[in-house]
Chains A and B, each alone.
Chain A
Amino acid sequence: MSDISHHQAVVPEKLVQGKPHARGWNLAVLGVLPSWLLMGFALIIPILIIVAVSFSVRGAYGGFDWGFDLAGYKQILFNEGWSGEIEFTPQYLVIILRTLLLAGVTTLLCLTLAVPVAYYIASQPPFRKALLVYLVTLPFWMSMILRVYAWMIILGRDGPLPQFLQFFGAPSGLTLMYNDGATLAAMVYTYIPLMVLPVFASIEKLDGTLIEAAHDLYGSRWTALRRVILPLTAPGIASGAILVFVPSLGAVLEPILMGGGKQMMMGSLIQLQFGGGRNWPFGSAIAVMLMIFVMIVLVLIALRARRKEVAA
Chain B
Amino acid sequence: MQKYMSATAIALCLASPALAEGKLNLYVWSESIAPELIETFSREYDVEVSVDGYTSNEDLLTKLQAGASGYDIAVPSQHFLRIMIDEGLVENYGANKLEAYNNIDERWRNQWWDETQEYSIPLAYGTAGFVVNTEEYDGPTDSLKYFLEPDGDLAGRIAMLSYPDEIIGTAQLYLGVPFCSEDPDEMKKVLDLLMAQKEAVAVYSSDNIESRLISGEVATHFWWDGETVRAQSEGAPLTYAMPKEGLVGWLDSMVIPKGAPNRENAIKFIEFISTPENATVEMNHYAHSSPMTVVEEDKKYTKDVAPALYPEVPVEMSRTCSPKAQDLVTRVWTQLLQ
**B 47-65 contacts with A by CB, 8 A:** 56, 58-59, 61-62, 65
Interface string of A138-165 (1 = CB under 8 A from B): 0000000000010010001110000000
- B87 at interface, CB cutoff 8 A: yes
Closest beta carbon of chain A to B262's beta carbon, Å: 25
Interface string of A61-89 (1 = CB under 8 A from B): 11100000000000000010011100000
Query: Would B337 and A264 count as touching, CB distance under 8 A?
Result: yes
Closest beta carbon of chain A to B60's beta carbon, Å: 10
Closest beta carbon of chain A to B324's beta carbon, Å: 10
Query: Would A91 and B335 count as touching, CB distance under 8 A?
Result: yes
Residue of A nearest to B338 (CB): A91
B33-41, B110-118, B162-170, B271-279 - interface stretch: B162-170
- B301 at interface, CB cutoff 8 A: no
Q: How far is the CA of A84 from the CA of B327 in the complex (A)?
A: 13
Contact of A61 among B56, B87, B202, B215 (CB under 8 A): B87
- Tell me which of A79, A94, A149, A261 has the highest count of chain B C-beta atoms within 10 A of its own C-beta: A261
Query: Would A272 and B202 count as touching, CB distance under 8 A?
Result: no
Q: How far is the CA of A84 from the CA of B204 in the complex (A)?
A: 29
Query: Would A62 and B61 count as touching, CB distance under 8 A?
Result: yes
Closest beta carbon of chain B to A121's beta carbon, Å: 35
Q: How far is the CA of A61 from the CA of B82 in the complex (A)?
A: 11
Q: If A262-B201, A279-B330 touch, does A177 touch B83 (CB 8 Å cutoff)?
A: no
**B 201-215 contacts with A by CB, 8 A:** 201-205, 207-208, 215
Interface string of A229-266 (1 = CB under 8 A from B): 00000000000000000000000000011001111100
Residue of B nearest to A264 (CB): B337
- B178 at interface, CB cutoff 8 A: no
Q: If A61-B83, A91-B335 touch, does A275 touch B163 (CB 8 Å cutoff)?
A: yes
Contact of B58 among A83, A84, A276 (CB under 8 A): A276
Query: Would B205 and A261 count as touching, CB distance under 8 A?
Result: yes
Contact of A260 among B65, B165, B202 (CB under 8 A): B202
- A171 at interface, CB cutoff 8 A: no
**CB-defined contacts of A91 to chain B, threshold 8 Å:** 334-335, 338
Query: Would B215 and A262 count as touching, CB distance under 8 A?
Result: no
- A178 at interface, CB cutoff 8 A: yes
Q: If A82-B184, A177-B217 touch, does A272 touch B338 (CB 8 Å cutoff)?
A: no
Query: Would A264 and B58 count as touching, CB distance under 8 A?
Result: no
Query: Would B62 and A62 count as touching, CB distance under 8 A?
Result: yes
**CB-defined contacts of B87 to chain A, threshold 8 Å:** 61, 63
Consensus secondary structure, chain B interface:
helix
Q: How far is the CA of A263 from the CA of B202 in the complex (A)?
A: 12
Contact of B326 among A156, A260, A262, A278 (CB under 8 A): A278
Query: Would B65 and A272 count as touching, CB distance under 8 A?
Result: no
- B198 at interface, CB cutoff 8 A: yes
- B27 at interface, CB cutoff 8 A: no
- Tell me which of A59, A158, A264 has the highest count of chain B C-beta atoms within 10 A of its own C-beta: A264
- B128 at interface, CB cutoff 8 A: no
Residue of A nearest to B163 (CB): A276
Query: Would B163 and A260 count as touching, CB distance under 8 A?
Result: no
Contact of A84 among B184, B198, B208 (CB under 8 A): B184
**CB-defined contacts of A152 to chain B, threshold 8 Å:** 208
Q: How far is the CA of A18 from the CA of B72 in the complex (A)?
A: 57
- A119 at interface, CB cutoff 8 A: no
**CB-defined contacts of B162 to chain A, threshold 8 Å:** 256, 261, 268
Residue of B nearest to A263 (CB): B337
- B323 at interface, CB cutoff 8 A: yes
- A26 at interface, CB cutoff 8 A: no
Query: Would B330 and A276 count as touching, CB distance under 8 A?
Result: yes
- B333 at interface, CB cutoff 8 A: yes
Residue of A nearest to B62 (CB): A274
**CB-defined contacts of A34 to chain B, threshold 8 Å:** none
Q: How far is the CA of A312 from the CA of B243 in the complex (A)?
A: 74
- B261 at interface, CB cutoff 8 A: no
Q: How far is the CA of A276 from the CA of B86 in the complex (A)?
A: 18
Q: How far is the CA of A262 from the CA of B202 in the complex (A)?
A: 8
Closest beta carbon of chain B to A269's beta carbon, Å: 8
Query: Would A157 and B164 count as touching, CB distance under 8 A?
Result: no
Closest beta carbon of chain B to A153's beta carbon, Å: 9
**CB-defined contacts of B58 to chain A, threshold 8 Å:** 274-276
Query: Would B165 and A256 count as touching, CB distance under 8 A?
Result: no
Q: If A61-B83, A274-B62, A275-B58 touch, does A256 touch B334 (CB 8 Å cutoff)?
A: no
- B237 at interface, CB cutoff 8 A: no
The 7 tightest CB contacts between A and B, nearest first, are A275-B58, A260-B203, A261-B204, A277-B330, A63-B65, A264-B337, A91-B338
Told that A62-B62, A264-B337, A277-B334 touch, could you supply 10 new A-B pairs with CB distance under 8 A?
A149-B208, A156-B215, A157-B215, A256-B162, A261-B204, A261-B337, A262-B201, A272-B163, A272-B330, A275-B61
Q: Can you list 19 A-B contacts with CB-CB less than 8 angstroms, sorted by A residue number?
A: A61-B83, A83-B184, A84-B184, A95-B338, A157-B215, A177-B202, A178-B203, A256-B205, A260-B203, A261-B337, A262-B204, A263-B337, A264-B334, A272-B330, A272-B334, A274-B58, A275-B61, A276-B326, A278-B323
